[in-house]
Amino acid sequence: MSFRQKRVLLSTPFYALFEFFLLKYIFLLIGGVNDIYIISLAVIIGLMRIVPMFLESRASTPFGRFLSTLDGLWMWGSLMYLIDIVFIYLINIFIPLSFEIRLLLLAIVPVVGIYNYYNAHKIVIKERTIKLPNLSQDMNIIHLSDVHFGSVRHKSIIKDIVDRIKEIEDKCDLVVISGDLADGSSVILKDDFLQFAKLDIPIFFTPGNHDFYMGIESVVDASRKAGIIVLDNEKIQFKSLNIYGLTYSFEDKSTPKFDKDMADPNLVNILNYHVPYYWDEFSSLGFDIQLSGHTHGGQFYPVVWFSELLFKYNKGLFKNKSGKYLHVTTGVGSMDVPMRWGTNSEIVILKLRK
């Protein structure tokens, strides 16, 4: 049983209990419903998490992906309705709300949901400039992360990414993917990433935590078949760049030792590491740029606010006193919940300039 499956199985009973009380208080706002019906709905919602998870672990199907997407949409909706009904009940203490007003306030969630869903599927291309004193030639790097290919975002997201990169690849030198190419919610077949083979630009990828959930071997095999260069705790020279791919440590994957040999003093050094951690340590080793993802920038409100508190470097481009850079992308995909609000699904062109 995978890490993700264990996590879902352990959390589902609590999730179903939460759903029971959430639905009960929603229905009380519009007249109330017998508890038997609410219990039945809570059980169905719980099963909607578990059933597609096991179906997709054997073979990804349109039906399994449909159920997974419904589950993701309702998970987001549950959080929004929780905030919504707390707001309604608090107002109702001081100002009695009519039935029509309560309905109108409940309708805010699906309306906001339409925008969230649209925004999550719209890939935005951004540009940021990095100035380096030791750069011998100007270069453009396409940086992306957190594709989360899986049950909720399947082959269509690979096609969308490739189509967007096609628009800019003639003015860029390479692509760097900072982990979580796979989501871990469905099996990965050898042909799943083949769309990337249509690009005429080198692609470098280093695994993140989600890439291990269904077996890292399948992710690596599918990547290599698509012509993607996998850097697993190893470095490669590309023009005047030394690119080191530091694999995220997960389960039996031990944390690599930080070694001075990771960097090359004669080149511009780039570290590809899924999480935006240890920036000071990597800078002291000689890395000019660290490329990371993982945070999703919080992905949607109100999680965006908590993410700002949880991660010191949540999203964007940072520069320290030593003139070293850290770039944290908000990711191009979405984990479990296909919704974005307050962040973009982004591909970033990093313009390296002298």
Residue by residue, DSSP assigns 304-317 as HHHHHHH-SS-SEE
Which has the closest alpha carbon to 289: 308, 310, 273, 307?
A: 273
Considering the domain boundaries, does residue 329 fall inside one?
Answer: yes
Q: How is the chain split among helix, strand and coil, in percent rounded to 5?
A: 45, 20, 35
Domain match, 66 and 181 both:
no
Considering the domain boundaries, does residue 226 fall inside one?
Answer: yes
Considering the domain boundaries, does residue 211 fall inside one?
Answer: yes
- Between CA 291 and CA 317 the distance in angstroms is 10
- In the listed set 106, 137, 166, which residue is the last one of a domain according to the structure? 106
- Between CA 209 and CA 270 the distance in angstroms is 20
Helix axes 108-120, 62-94, angle to 10 degrees: 140
Domain match, 76 and 186 both:
no
Domain match, 62 and 10 both:
yes
Considering the domain boundaries, does residue 115 fall inside one?
Answer: no
Considering the domain boundaries, does residue 196 fall inside one?
Answer: yes
- Between CA 256 and CA 200 the distance in angstroms is 32
Domain match, 102 and 128 both:
no
Considering the domain boundaries, does residue 231 fall inside one?
Answer: yes
Omega before residue 202 within 30° of 0, cis? no
- pTM for the whole thing? 0.92
Domain match, 64 and 142 both:
no
Q: Burial of 34 by CB count in 10 Å (0-12 exposed, 13-18 middle, 19+ buried)?
A: exposed
Assign residue 61 a region (left: φ > 0; alpha: ψ between -120 and 50; beta: otherwise): beta
Could you give the strand order of the β-sheet that contains 316-319, starting from the edge strand earlier in sequence? 234-238, 241-246, 268-273, 289-292, 325-328, 316-319
Which CATH number goes with the domain that contains 322? 3.60.21.10
pLDDT in tens, 153-210: 999 999 999 999 999 999 999 999 999 999 999 999 999 999 999 999 999 999 999 9
pLDDT value, residue 236:
96
- In the listed set 106, 136, 154, which residue is the last one of a domain according to the structure? 106
Q: Cβ atoms within 10 A of the Cβ of 17, count?
A: 12
Could you give the angle at the alpha carbon of 207 between the alpha carbons of 201 and 208, nearest 5°?
125
Domain match, 90 and 234 both:
no
Domain match, 69 and 157 both:
no
- Between CA 88 and CA 101 the distance in angstroms is 10
Considering the domain boundaries, does residue 112 fall inside one?
Answer: no
Domain match, 199 and 348 both:
yes
pLDDT value, residue 58:
87
pLDDT value, residue 288:
97
Range of the domain at 289: 124-353
φ, ψ at 311 (rounded to 5°): -110, 125
Domain match, 137 and 208 both:
yes
pLDDT in tens, 200-245: 999 999 999 999 998 899 999 999 999 999 999 999 999 999 999 9
Length of the chain, in residues? 354
- Between CA 135 and CA 133 the distance in angstroms is 6
Domain match, 85 and 131 both:
no
Domain match, 73 and 134 both:
no
pLDDT < 50 regions, the chain: none
Considering the domain boundaries, does residue 41 fall inside one?
Answer: yes
pLDDT value, residue 252:
58
pLDDT value, residue 298:
95
- In the listed set 106, 134, 162, which residue is the last one of a domain according to the structure? 106
Domain match, 235 and 277 both:
yes
pLDDT value, residue 50:
93
Structural domains counted in the chain: 2
Tokens read off for 126:
């951004």
